[in-house]
Amino acid sequence: MVQEKVRIRRDIETMDAYTPTTSLDVFAERLGIDADKLIKLDANENPFGPSPRVIKALAALPNMHVYPDPESGRLRDLLADYTGVPAEQILCGAGADELIELIMQLFIEPGDVIINTPPTFAMYSFNAPLYHARVCDVYRRADFSIDVAAIGEAVSRYDAKLVFLCSPNNPSGNLISRDDIEALLDLPATIVIDEAYIEFATRESLAPLVMDRPNLILLRTLSKWAGLAGLRIGYGLFPRALMPQLWKIKQPYNVNVAADLAACASLEDVDYLLERVHQLVQQRERLESAFAELPYLSPYPSQANFVLNRVRGMAAGDLRDKLARAGIIVRYYNTARLDDCIRISAGLPAQVDRLLDVLRRLR
């Protein structure tokens, strides 16, 4: 309990903390293994790291003593070229995570309901109570497809303003079908689709739809395809009408000068980065077929840079621990619909070799 004179929100005192992944150094200390020997496949980071142009640009980063451009003007112009959506409909944030919060700040009045479709990325439901929103979970089917009819019923029952969806979905890796997208956009709610992993998918982003759909928001990030997770840079593609309201509430200097410059340098090196994305997709495909051969793993098909597996005949937590002792960090789940699951990110070819070697020796 916090001291009596210091009265923070009671709901925060009693809420559970979110357990995020941590840095290589912290894992190294926990496991007693040198950081450079660890293979970190738990957070869908890009093991190739950023473009060499980013390293060069940051080494000569000017004006660290001056606040950044609050409008991220150059970056938004480059993002407009990259996405095909006008800069006037783009807002940048310290990761897509920040934009999830910004959307809640913009929409939620105390007691409002948001629709969430678990199993999915945890931040939508984690952030909701902080903005006094209630969460209605409309569970995905066994194959992790969404149930649009049930989402529609929940929207009308709770008069929900916001539906949060993820495509490709983290952690299952599947896309939302085009028919489902159309049906969702007909609902009387704003549909937020998190496309953090879209660069790894066989289908294009829904970006062109943002220009004529008043209720579609897309979230994108440079954490995954551009290898900038540590710098925290993401963006949203918003309906025009929302932009003046978003500009009012955004923290003025939310994107720091290093993240801004790194994102610009990445967008000037898109072909190079997308070639690496292609290589990661090849490693993911390698993982999918190798996992399917193992008696104790059942992989789900993925359109992202990771593979979710159901673990059979052994406890998924034990598998996670055995891999950790071998210096390989993976993500373990034991929540509803994800019991006995582990998610493994695509690594560099040599990292995948090592992972498969360790897995094949396990029984």
Ligand X SMILES: Cc1ncc(COP(=O)(O)O)c(C=O)c1O
**Would you tell me which residues interact with ligand X (CB under 6 A)?**
44, 95-97, 121, 166, 170, 194, 196, 221, 223, 229, 234
Residue 354 CA: distances (Å) to CA of 32, 34, 42, 105, 314: 19, 16, 15, 44, 21
Return d(Cα 358, Cα 293) in angstroms, integer.
14
Q: Which value, in Å, is the radius of gyration of the alpha carbons in the chain?
A: 21
Cβ 236 to ligand X, closest distance in Å? 10
Cβ 96 to ligand X, closest distance in Å? 4
66 DSSP 8-state letter: S
Choice between 156 and 251, CB closer to ligand X? 251
Q: In this chain, which residue has its C-beta nearest to ligand X?
A: 95
Choice between 138 and 226, CB closer to ligand X? 226
Cβ 269 to ligand X, closest distance in Å? 19
Q: What's the half-sphere exposure (Cβ side, CA atoms, 13 Å) at 22?
A: 10
Choice between 33 and 91, CB closer to ligand X? 91
Cβ 164 to ligand X, closest distance in Å? 10
Cβ 13 to ligand X, closest distance in Å? 26
Cβ 110 to ligand X, closest distance in Å? 25
Choice between 107 and 164, CB closer to ligand X? 164
For residue 62, report the phi and psi dihedrals to the nearest 5 degrees: -90, 165
3-state class of 170 per DSSP?
coil
Choice between 107 and 225, CB closer to ligand X? 225
> Which residue(s) pair with 309 in the sheet?
299, 342
- The contacts of residue 216 (CB under 8 Å, 6+ apart) are 185, 190, 191, 193, 206, 209, 210, 239
Choice between 164 and 291, CB closer to ligand X? 164
Return d(Cα 53, Cα 57) in angstroms, integer.
6
